[in-house]
């Protein structure tokens, strides 16, 4: 994700308490940034939804209540990159089902586990890594539909 | 943060029409599931979920909707969805919820299909 940084780029960092519904605050910021960056309404809705899921994971799976998670928006001419970083215990992406199916969820106790699949389908790139000194960092990128992918 | 959820039921002939209103997340699931269960317990077998009041659904809310579908399937009830926003309809297709209920642009269209 090492794209060129120019004077027209902008970067915003938001710190939010690890409390449910704060995903809506992050989504509201994403909407403003994406609108200013010239994304279409459909793309903005996809960005909001994907970011909401990443924030929910940060809030829930970080197991780090009474703390904060950080959302960083980096907008360039061609794309918007968003990273969501928590300070929790972290998780291994290999252990997550990336392709859950509705037939496997029905009649199963566990009906959750859709977030990562949704992020992967709604964004153009996603990278999950361990945050320093602890926690999980989810970086995702969405290109404007008119822009060629690098 | 205020993101209140409510759900209203209207009986239209033999169709129970549910109007969820607000953000469908984990909290919403806690009121949707018992409401749906009550309809089935009273013998309702045609259920329409009108999503005109729902702007956002997250994956925890999706899990709640899956519970409704599971209950409906066990009771041989037919479920239809109407008035989904573009993004919510996209979510339903991605998850596969459209395999368990048809999507209709309007409530009238869905009610006609029930008859």
- Please state the CATH superfamily assignment of the domain spanning residues B1-79 in this structure: STAS domain (3.30.750.24)
pLDDT (mean) for A72-91: 91
pLDDT of residue A20: 92
**Cβ of A99 under 8 Å from any chain B Cβ?**
no
Cβ separation A112–B60 shorter than 8 A = yes
Summarised one tens digit per residue, pLDDT across range A49-60 is: 999 999 999 998
Summarised one tens digit per residue, pLDDT across range A103-135 is: 888 888 898 889 999 999 999 999 999 888 788
Give the closest-approach CA distance of A108 to chain B in angstroms: 10
Return the residue of B nearest to A51 by Cα. Answer: B58
Q: Return the number of other C-beta atoms located less than 10 Å from residue B95's C-beta.
A: 23
In angstroms, rounded to a whole number, what is the distance separating the alpha carbons of residues B22 and A111? 21
**Cβ of B24 under 8 Å from any chain A Cβ?**
no
Return the residue of A nearest to B91 by Cα. Answer: A118
Cβ separation B3–A49 shorter than 8 A = no
What does the angle CA A124 – CA A127 – CA A130 come to, to the nearest 5 degrees? 165
Return the residue of B nearest to A27 by Cα. Answer: B56
**Cβ of B95 under 8 Å from any chain A Cβ?**
yes
Cβ separation A53–B70 shorter than 8 A = no
Among the residues of A19-140, which ranges form H helices?
Answer: 22-36, 41-61, 102-105, 115-122
Domain residue extents for chain A: 10-143
**Cβ of B63 under 8 Å from any chain A Cβ?**
yes
pLDDT of residue A64: 64
Calculate the average pLDDT of chain A.
88
Q: Which two tokens stand for residue A38?
A: 């010239």
pLDDT of residue A150: 46
Give, for B50, the enclosing helix (H) or strand (E).
strand B46-50
Cβ separation A21–B25 shorter than 8 A = yes
DSSP letter at B27 equals H
With cut-offs at 50, 70 and 90, classify the pLDDT of residue A78.
very high
With cut-offs at 50, 70 and 90, classify the pLDDT of residue A94.
confident
Return the residue of A nearest to B96 by Cα. Answer: A102
Q: Return the number of other C-beta atoms located less than 10 Å from residue A9's C-beta.
A: 14
Q: Count the alpha carbons within 13 Å of B30 in the hemisphere toward its beta carbon.
A: 5
Domain residue extents for chain B: 1-79
Cβ separation A56–B60 shorter than 8 A = yes
pLDDT (mean) for A64-78: 88
Q: Which two tokens stand for residue A82?
A: 């968003």
Q: Which residue has the higher pLDDT, A112 or A2?
A: A112
Helices and strands: H and E segment counts in chain A:
4, 5
Q: Which two tokens stand for residue A6?
A: 């120019």
For A10-143, give the CATH class: alpha beta
Give the closest-approach CA distance of B59 to chain A in angstroms: 6
With cut-offs at 50, 70 and 90, classify the pLDDT of residue A138.
very high
| ipTM of the complex model | 0.92
Q: Please identify every stretch of chain B with a pLDDT value under 70, giving residue numbers as ranges.
A: 1-3
**Cβ of A103 under 8 Å from any chain B Cβ?**
yes
């Amino acid at each position: 994700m090492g794209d060129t940084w120019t004077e027209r780029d902008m970067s915003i960092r938001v710190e939010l308490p690890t409390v449910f519904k704060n995903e809506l605050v992050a989504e509201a910021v994403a909407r403003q940034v994406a609108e200013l960056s010239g994304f279409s309404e459909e793309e903005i809705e996809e960005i909001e939804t994907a970011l909401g899921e990443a924030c929910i994971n940060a809030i829930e799976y970080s197991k780090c209540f009474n703390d904060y998670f950080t959302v960083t928006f980096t907008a360039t001419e061609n794309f918007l990159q968003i990273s969501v970083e928590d300070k929790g215990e972290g998780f291994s992406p290999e252990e997550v089902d990336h392709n859950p199916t509705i037939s496997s969820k029905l009649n199963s106790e566990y009906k959750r586990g859709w977030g990562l699949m949704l992020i992967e389908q709604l964004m153009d790139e996603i990278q999950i890594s361990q945050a320093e000194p602890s926690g999980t960092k989810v970086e995702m990128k969405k290109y404007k539909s008119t822009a060629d992918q690098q | 943060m205020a993101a209140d959820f409510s759900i209203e039921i209207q009986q239209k002939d033999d169709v129970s029409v549910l109007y969820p209103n607000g953000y469908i997340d984990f909290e919403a699931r806690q009121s949707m599931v018992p409401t749906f269960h009550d309809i089935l317990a009273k013998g309702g077998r045609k259920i329409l979920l009108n999503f005109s009041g729902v702007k956002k659904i997250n994956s925890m809310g999706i899990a709640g909707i899956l519970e409704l579908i599971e209950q409906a399937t066990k009771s041989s009830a037919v479920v239809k969805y109407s008035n989904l926003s573009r993004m919510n309809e996209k979510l339903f297709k991605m998850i596969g919820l459209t395999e368990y209920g048809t999507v209709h642009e309007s409530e009238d269209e869905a009610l006609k299909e029930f008859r």
